[in-house]
Amino acid sequence: MEEINKEEFTVVIKNENSSNVEEETTKKPPFKKRKPKPKVPRDNSTNSNNNQKSGEGWVTDLKKAYLINEKIHKDRLNPHYKLNLNTSAKLKITPLGGLNEIGGNMMVVETENEAIIVDVGMSFPDGEMHGVDILIPDFTYIREIKDKIVAVIITHGHEDHIGAMPYLFKEMQFPIYGTSLPLEMIGSKFDEHKMREHRGYFRAISKRTPIKIGNDFEVEWMHITHSIIDSSAVAIKTEAGTMIHTGDFKIDHTPIDGFPTDLHRLAHYGEEGVLVLTSDSTNSHSPGFTRTEKTVGPTFDKIFSSAKGRVVMSTFSSNIHRVAQAIEKALIYGRKICVIGRSMEKNLEIAMNLGYIKFPKDQFIEAHEVNKYNDKEVLIVTTGSQGESMSALYRMAIHEHRHIKIKPEDQIILSSKAIPGNEASVSEIINHLLKAGAKVAYQDFPDIHVSGHAGQEEQKLMLRLVKPKFFLPVHGEYNHALKHGQTGIDCGVLERNVYIMSDGEQIEVTPKYLKKVKTVKSGKVYIDNQLNHRISDDVVLDRQTMAKEGIVMIVAQINENDRTLAQKPKVSSFGLVSDKQDKYFVKEIEDILGVFLENVKPGILKNNRILEDELRKVVRKHCTRKYKKYPMIVPTIFVQ
């Protein structure tokens, strides 16, 4: 056989596109054909394993495929196997406010060596707390662990989350981390309290960027929709695991500013494995989804289009997007905007200065300029939607405002819902507005207000995204938290891993367990806003007693030798008997005093404090028996 040259050789082939064009290519020398291998029967199970190993994602064994997918479902729904069960690290969570109530939110999150505070909010007093303007959390536990605290982190700018900050910072100071709006709102409070220097503690953060705080914490702020702009949930990473705290939230897919809840980051942490979730329970009894803020706009448009006079819109001063929607309608209908109410003016100014909302400043007028314009050319945005007796709207309604008085043809919009406990106040202000001849749009328009808190379906979505091992419902009364806890169980959290906390309870969490370890001092501190100082508990109790039971004051002069009255005693009572009965009541007390002196032990006359205490008991016993009251008794005895 002729030997083949091992060097490459050239052949000529024709191009398919042109018979006239030839091109060269190279070929390797031919080799002898190999004998074909015998065919082997295909082993499906072997190929399935090979396919599975090679990552092709399919198998031919359907039962096996089902079992594989079942495991995948279990793993994605319960990613807790990713938690470090070998760690000895512990996370402690201690709420100091916000549980079994609406408002006053404050929580401490601790490791062995460090701690952070989440929000420092205030709440409002009930009608029996006379002379009390606001309530703040008891800071006793904060004082005890002061040296451990490395930061205060803020979720959003509502009063029930930042309102107590000035009172905390009068005692102790820490770095404050948060987004621009809540920090500036806190700054405004510091300015009012003459604490401007504390602005130096501000640390403005960027969302979606984990920040190292101290040695033990890494915190990321995630955007959340709520009834105030620039709200956040926080992911708090520690050696023990990740804690997600939602803050107040709803899941609005079409918010006014176009920035919906950051579901992607929540899901990201859910896939990583979340140790514990603390989540807003306020609307736990509300089925379905909370309506989007945008539903209010068409209602405003309908009211503005038919208004024959001035439009007066009142809402919560912090609801910037609600105010912005009203202003947009005013501009469309050619109305100037007058903003009245200190908190409303302040919050709107902050939001505009920081760039959250943008409106031409020449469209705004002052209160004293309102009467220069035709009624159909004016929108008044004001506070007072909760019927506060000192609010601008209330003073307008009863004609006590310096520049503006409600009159016939005025269209009032109350774009809010009465906070529990404020129903009577709201009803009162509506009556005043109607008596003044105004038209009031309130509950007869279902979309005049929407909540800022998540309904049940949004709570379920949060639970499914985060997939926590342990669940602690927060922010709300006991019944709200209990209902939210059941929703958590329905969404796959084990019943034994759900705990309904109370203020002051310290919960210890590790990847292996959750348990209550102790109770710390908690409660409320009464604040007089006029003087910006604390009111002691006994003062409030005395005021309650005087309001409910009345007061009796006795001034008497006694002869020690014969234990008789030196002169007729002075007796005054308030809130116990009517003016007509007063002289009979005075005679009763004189008789009681005479009998008391006849029977009193001689030694008691030498100790005024004991003498007055004994007289107090005798007079109170008489009032309780005859008048079924337990009044405050104030005796002043002079012994000569």
User: Which active-site residues does the annotation give?
Assistant: 280, 453
Burial letters 121-155, b for 16+ CB under 10 A, else e: bbbbbeeebeebbbbbbbbebbeeeeebbbbbbbb
For residue 209, with 0-12 CB atoms within 10 Å meaning exposed, 13-18 middle and 19 or more buried, which class applies? exposed
Nearest to 183 by CA among 154, 218, 144: 154
Structure tokens at 226: 């709520």
Relative to beta strand 202-204, strand 176-178 is: parallel
Whether the Cβ atoms of residue 95 and residue 106 lie closer than 8 Å to each other = yes
In angstroms, the CA 602 to CA 609 distance is: 14
Whether the Cβ atoms of residue 521 and residue 138 lie closer than 8 Å to each other = yes
Structure tokens at 608: 């005024």
For residue 238, the cross-strand partners are 241
Structure tokens at 411: 């269209």
> Which residue pairs from 601-608 have beta carbons closer than 8 angstroms and sit at least 24 positions apart in sequence?
602/563, 605/558, 605/560, 605/563, 605/639, 606/560, 606/639, 608/637, 608/639
Whether the Cβ atoms of residue 639 and residue 555 lie closer than 8 Å to each other = no
In angstroms, the CA 551 to CA 549 distance is: 7
Q: Other CB atoms closer than 10 Å to residue 173's CB: what's the count?
A: 15
Interior angle at CA 477, CA 473 and CA 482, nearest 5 = 45
In angstroms, the CA 294 to CA 330 distance is: 16
Residue with tokens 């050239």: 10
Whether the Cβ atoms of residue 280 and residue 99 lie closer than 8 Å to each other = no
Whether the Cβ atoms of residue 527 and residue 533 lie closer than 8 Å to each other = yes
3-class SS at 495? helix
Q: How far is CA 118 from CA 3, 106, 123, 162, 215, in A?
A: 89, 6, 16, 10, 17
Interior angle at CA 359, CA 358 and CA 362, nearest 5 = 145
For residue 267, with 0-12 CB atoms within 10 Å meaning exposed, 13-18 middle and 19 or more buried, which class applies? middle
In angstroms, the CA 118 to CA 525 distance is: 19
Nearest to 511 by CA among 463, 468, 472: 468
